[in-house]
Structure formats: C-alpha cells, structure tokens
Amino acid sequence: MKNTSLLFAAGMALAVLAGCATKGPEFDPRHGQVSSPFTEPVSLQTTSVVNTLDPVLLKPSADFFTLGPGDQIEVEILGTPASRTMLNVGPDGKIYFSLLPGLDVWGLNMSETKALLDKELGKFISNAQVTVSLRAVGSKYVWLLGRLNKPGIYPTTAPMTLLEAIAQAGGTANAASAVTTEDLSDLRHSFVVRQGQILPVDFQKLLRQGDMSQNVYLKADDFVYVPSSLDREIYVMGALRAPHAVPFRESTTLISVIAACGGTIKDAYKSHVAIVRGSLSSPQIAIVDYNDILNGKTSDILLEPHDIVYVPLSPYRVLTRYLELIVNTFANSIAANEGIAASGGVRVGVAVPVGGP
C-alpha cells in the first residue's frame, strides 16, 4: 500500500435496492487542516448513488392481522349471550374457551381462529358457531422514538404509512419558545429499521418537501427513530476497547475519539478505518490508513458532529457493502439502546459487531 492514505468517498443504496450512479460532492476528511510535510497532496475519488425505494415498500401489506401472545379477543357462541368471554392469547400462543383444551392460535387471523373454534366446539355442540372479535393488541407494535411529541411503542392492527405513524406520535418536536419554532428533530439522520436493515427513506424529502415517494408502509416491529438536532456526537464503533458515542468539541480529531474509546484492540485492521459523513439517505465514506497517522506519515483528521468512525477487524472488499455494514450497524445500535431505554431498561452504549465485509 502506498504511504499516503487511501481515501475514497461513496454514496450507497442502504438496502439491497437498485440505484443509479451519479457524480456527487466531494468528502475530504482533511478539509481545513495543514498538510503534513511527510505526505503528498490528497487526491480524492468520489461517487454517489441515488437511492430508489422499491415500489413494494410503498404498498400496504396484503397479510391479514394474525394473533400472537398478549392479544385479547372476545368470543361468543351464537345464540348464547352468556357464553361471551374475553380471552387472552397466552405466552404459549394458546387460548382457553369453555371446556375446550388449549387451542394454538398463534399466527392465525380472525377467520382462521373462528374456523378452529367452530370445529373444536362442534365436537361437543351440534352446529356450533362463534363470533370472534379483536379487543386489544399486545403482540404487534411499531417503535416511534426520538424527537417526536409523543414518542412511544404503538400497537398496530392495520397497514400504516410512515407519515401516519409520525402523526400518531404527535409529529416532530419543536423548541418550546415564544420566539422560535425551531425544529428539534434531525431529519438528515432519521431512519427506519426493518429486520436489521435500514430502509432508504429520505425524511427531509418526505416531511419538508411532501415527497410521497418516501412514504413507506410500516410493518410490525419496524423501528422509527428521529434524533435530536441538538445532539453533537461522533459515533465510534468496531474493533475498539470501549466503543461509544463521543461528544463533539472543536478540533475533535480521529486520534482523540479513538483514544476516548480506549484505543483499538489487538487485531484491529487500522489501515481501513472508515469515516462516514452526511445524511443517512445518501452518506459518504472515506477510508483512512490510521497507521500512517499514528506514525506521523500523514496528518490527523478533524471530525464533524454526527460522523461515524468504524474500525474493522479485516479489510473491506466491496466499498458499498462496507458502507452498508457501517450504516446498518449504527442504526441497529441506536435502535437497541433506545429500545431498551423505552422499555424501562438502561442504555448499554454503542455495542457493535466488528469485522470486515
């Protein structure tokens, strides 16, 4: 490898979606610094990818609501009002009605649950028919956390768009001041996580420009997070002794944040340290040889608020996959910690896997 740092910048599609490559703005992590006398001028290669949402994400799911532990239903045998009973789906996914043994309804919709009850009751009562109604949801939720007016964990029984969900949570929060209506939400770094993958939603386009092409339908267990615009942190992750978010201060550098995390662990691959910058819908990445900085062959790097620093255990092979790994790791770390806090637990810091893509 050459003595100078190997620097690249790239944007990427944050999920496995097709995109079109276009020339993007440069991301020079050494902006504003005096070059080291040991290095040559930095030559930066840049590229960006315009994210395109899969049209499937903009359509409601055709799946019916299915029961799970914690749901509550009302069951009544037709013609027998006294049989009306409220039933809770137990932790084992079963309900207990009348003289019937436990019936497993986990994963059944209302029609299937009714058919199962009709069949089992028919063994004891001629032409038995029941009505089944959903009374409370305890198994399916969406997480709406961060700088929202009513953040929380909301039950979901029907398809709901991202805009509808944000409206249900009271919209994004504004400063409580008579002289300003400053938005306290950081839309550039807001995200939706589904099954461990971040969806390529541009919150600014959706909420500021009314771009309905960003208005995805949510599913149960989706995690929506809107960070505070007042936060000024640098997220340091990967092969470090104590990875965590480091408060930003003027002149914060790469060396200082890695030192604040206890330094790198023994097998860290310091030649491919990544700095990710910009909005999560179109991030950029720079790959830095941290060994060269430590050895004085090149200058340290000034960081900015919201930068993500990632130290791998092995070299990256495909740059866009490396960026996808970092952004997904970041989003899942935030989701895990905020989810724990919202559930009454304690944040555990930025705990992330380490390794190269």
Q: Is the pLDDT of residue 334 over 50?
A: yes
How much is the pLDDT for 146? 94
243 with 151: CB under 8 angstroms?
no
Average pLDDT over residues 189-208: 93
How much is the pLDDT for 61? 80
What's the pTM? 0.76
Tokens 């799946």 found at: 63
Q: Cα 306 to the chain's mean position, in Å? A: 16
How much is the pLDDT for 237? 96
| Secondary structure letter of residue 202 according to DSSP | -
How much is the pLDDT for 176? 58
List the single range of 172-186, 275-289, 310-324, 327-341 with lowest mean pLDDT.
Answer: 172-186
How much is the pLDDT for 182? 62
Q: pLDDT exceeding 90 applies to what percent of the chain? A: 56
Return the closest-CA partner of residue 193 out of 209, 216, 170, 167.
216
Cα 318 to Cα 2: distance, rounded to the nearest angstrom: 19
Q: pLDDT exceeding 70 applies to what percent of the chain? A: 80
Average pLDDT over residues 299-315: 93
Return the closest-CA partner of residue 229 out of 270, 175, 155.
175
Cα 242 to Cα 345: distance, rounded to the nearest angstrom: 20
How much is the pLDDT for 18? 32
Q: Is the pLDDT of residue 44 over 50?
A: no
Could you read off the pLDDT of 98-109 as tens digits, one per residue? 889 999 999 999
Q: What share of the chain is helix, strand, coil (3-state, %, to 5)?
A: 20, 25, 50
- Identify the structural domains of the chain with CATH numbers, from first to last: 8-57+230-342 (3.10.560.10), 72-136 (3.30.1950.10), 139-222 (no CATH)
How much is the pLDDT for 8? 34
How much is the pLDDT for 99? 85
Residue 157's pLDDT band (boundaries 50, 70, 90)?
confident
